[in-house]
Structure 1
Amino acid sequence: MHVSVLHSTLSERDLLGYVFTHYSLAKDDYFRCFFVEKGCNDTYLIKGENNRFILRVYHAEWRTPSQVAFEMEALQWLLVQGASVSQPIKRRDGALLGVIGAPEGERIVVMFSYAEGAPAEFGALEREECVSYGRALADLHNRARGFLAVSPRFSLDEEHLITNPLRLIEPHLRDRVKDWKFLLEFADLLKARIGELDQEGLTKGLCHGDAHGGNAHRDQSETVTFFDFDCCGMGWLAYDIAVFLWAARIKEKHLQRSGEFLSGYESVRRISSTEKAALPVLIAMRDIWITGTTISNGGKNGHRWVMNSRYFDIHMTRWQYMRDECFPISSV
């Protein structure tokens, strides 16, 4: 019997050979390749004695070539504008994207400069670090102004953040009829509300899409460098702000860190009253999106989380709280 492959772990040795073949590395450096982690994509560290790079191997069928090309266009725009972001490295042939044949199909490969410093993890995030992260995200948004992509890609809108995830969530709630009905009604309220706020003038532009703090490093000079724009897209800038607030809440750091982050952000870019009104709505949309994304990658990363009823117990409690926060009983 022939069994198909959904995801394979590629050889560190062979990937290092790929890098030597297609990239111009310092000849006097001794490079090694380390498999760092598997997420929505596979991350490898190309480490020499004097230089470090990140090699991202996209999962098969996770992103189309045009979607990855959009990401590269966004990064190149930001670099020209002076933003502190991880830089895609050109191959010997001048291209940014490569392709590797794997058992599950073709996988896109891109190499990036290494972002120096330590991640902005919530456990160690101090007040000033939180403020500086807010400033850095606002600066990123300012420098992204005027970006227009050539390559097509999904937008960070209600379809991407609510409609598509719901299709993935529904099979897991078939035996929880009451919960599924609640989620559908909540989703309809979120769509209607974000539509109203959008009409009032939510600022749109290039978003990082996953600016929860872990996708940026802060070095000793306090420079914050953003990386992993895999979830980027055109959308409401308030969504990026909401992603950080969502992560703070998940890490139970909401009360300690949200105000500091927001004050740092607003020291560079003002958050309008309409954007502030949208934040709880977008936080809820983010949580629905992450649930759908976890499910969509279950065949590659494992369904351990979503096969456990406790996972949805936690989310239902969270969604009920978010519903009450976004739509007090008197307003519904």
Structure 2
Amino acid sequence: MSGFYELPSEQQVDALRDLLIDALGAWDLGALESVELLAERENAVFEVRSGRGRFVARVHRAGYHTDDQLRSQVAWMRALRAQGVVETADVVDTRAGDVFTVATRPPVPEARQVSVLEWVGGEQLSSRLQAAGGDELAGWYHRIGALAAGLHEQVRTWRRPAGFSTITWDVDGLLGERAVWGRFWALEGMAADDRTVMAELRARAMAELARLPRDPDRYGLIHNDFLAENLLVDGDRLTLLDFDDCGESWFAWDLTPALVSIATREDYPSLRDALVEGYREVRPLGEDELARLPLLFALRMATYAAWLDTRSHTQFAKDLGPVIVAAAVDVARRYLAGELEV
């Protein structure tokens, strides 16, 4: 790994901000006024203020997506907006008519894809989870379930553009030796008994997922990141953000991020039921799919632990990594013991 990733997080962010400022010349945004960090996670995300207004700019993680995959994400987002399936931020085209540019600037060691999106107003649902009452939250999770189902219905009939390419979240993508988010069963520093638990979860998941059908009623293109922080609430408007992890998988897998966001709440059962009811108002969700949610939930937590491990240079991973790994191991133990209720 390049010495760049051994720098303090603040220095990495400063370098990525400088790279972004260079890259913004590819857009017609007017005079640049400010560039401020919003989040450093999968991508480094900045708020940009310019003569043309307010935008969100992303310096994408090196090597995560091919150029075709980024263009495919935007094609799906725009199709969903055009068909009225979902509110989401549109990507701003460069002067050249592309949805991103590629920029380099030392000390960042790799060329980075950079994209700009329209600013969308609203409050993250994660903030509402701290203050809103149960009835209000149940209403939002009912809508999230319906929104997820609407996406899944759209992909069953959508004609994808030529060259469409995306990540695949199947057995290999989640559990293979080159799993997209890393090998959660082999994390450095994990205690031997915890490693045994995670290896057993992997073996169980490989056997179970290999048996799951991939017919178009249950498997297809999914958003894959319905975390509360990726949903903006503004009055009665609900906006879905961050299609960065979208890809091919089982539709039921798409429900697990929403469940993770509420898993520790006392009102979890009512919010889970609202999510499922909202989904079922739009499309079927079989009892067999619900029965697999404990496995999928345990696997989601395990892959989050691997995700943080492979992004250990970020401050976010340094702060939350140990907590998430411990939680993922605990969930895996409960699942393997038949004690996990989701």
Q: Would you say the 8 A contact 2:305–2:324 is kept in 1?
A: no
Q: The residue matched to 2:167 in structure 1 has which SS?
A: coil
Most deviating of 180-189 and 90-99: 180-189
Residue in structure 2 matched with residue 73 of structure 1 by the alignment:
75
Q: Would you say the 8 A contact 2:74–2:91 is kept in 1?
A: yes
* 1:215-243 alpha-carbon deviations (Å, 9 max, x no partner): 121221x2211111111101111111122
- 1:152 matches 2:165: yes
Q: How does 1:239-250 map onto structure 2 within 5 Å? A: 239-250=253-264
Q: How does 1:47-196 map onto structure 2 within 5 Å? A: 47=49, 51-83=53-85, 84-102=87-105, 103=107, 104-121=109-126, 122-125=129-132, 126-147=137-158, 148=160, 150-163=163-176, 164=179, 167=183, 169-172=185-188, 176-196=191-211
Residue 206 of structure 2 aligns with an amino acid whose one-letter code is: K
Q: Would you say the 8 A contact 2:41–2:314 is kept in 1?
A: no
* 1:92-121 alpha-carbon deviations (Å, 9 max, x no partner): 110111011132211100111223321111
Q: The residue matched to 1:178 in structure 2 has which SS?
A: helix
- TM-score of the pair, normalised by structure 2: 0.81
- TM-score of the pair, normalised by structure 1: 0.84
Q: The residue matched to 2:112 in structure 1 has which SS?
A: strand
Query: Percent same amino acid among aligned pairs?
Result: 19
Change (3 A) 1:281 1:161: same
Q: What CA distance in whole angstroms lies between the structure 2 residues aligned with 1:210 and 1:62?
A: 16
Residue 134 of structure 1 aligns with an amino acid whose one-letter code is: G
Task: Report deviation, 1:307.
Answer: 7.7
Residue in structure 2 matched with residue 260 of structure 1 by the alignment:
274
Q: The residue matched to 2:284 in structure 1 has which SS?
A: coil
Change (3 A) 1:207 1:201: closer
Task: Report deviation, 1:87.
Answer: 1.1
Q: The residue matched to 2:332 in structure 1 has which SS?
A: helix
Change (3 A) 1:55 1:166: closer
Most deviating of 181-190 and 234-243: 181-190
Q: What CA distance in whole angstroms lies between the structure 1 residues aligned with 2:254 and 2:305?
A: 17
Task: Report deviation, 1:250.
Answer: 4.7
Q: What CA distance in whole angstroms lies between the structure 1 residues aligned with 2:97 and 2:254?
A: 32
Q: What CA distance in whole angstroms lies between the structure 2 residues aligned with 1:311 and 1:31?
A: 37
Q: What CA distance in whole angstroms lies between the structure 2 residues aligned with 1:129 and 1:185?
A: 36
Q: Quote the RMSD (CA, aligned, Å).
A: 3.0
Q: Would you say the 8 A contact 1:130–1:257 is kept in 2?
A: yes
Match of 1:22 among 26, 44, 49: 26
Change (3 A) 1:258 1:306: closer
Task: Report deviation, 1:141.
Answer: 2.4
Structure 1 gap segments, 5+ residues each: none
Residue in structure 2 matched with residue 4 of structure 1 by the alignment:
3
Q: The residue matched to 1:53 in structure 2 has which SS?
A: strand
Most deviating of 108-117 and 79-88: 79-88
* Aligned structure 1 segments of 4 or more residues deviating by more than 6 angstroms: 199-202
Residue 137 of structure 1 aligns with an amino acid whose one-letter code is: A
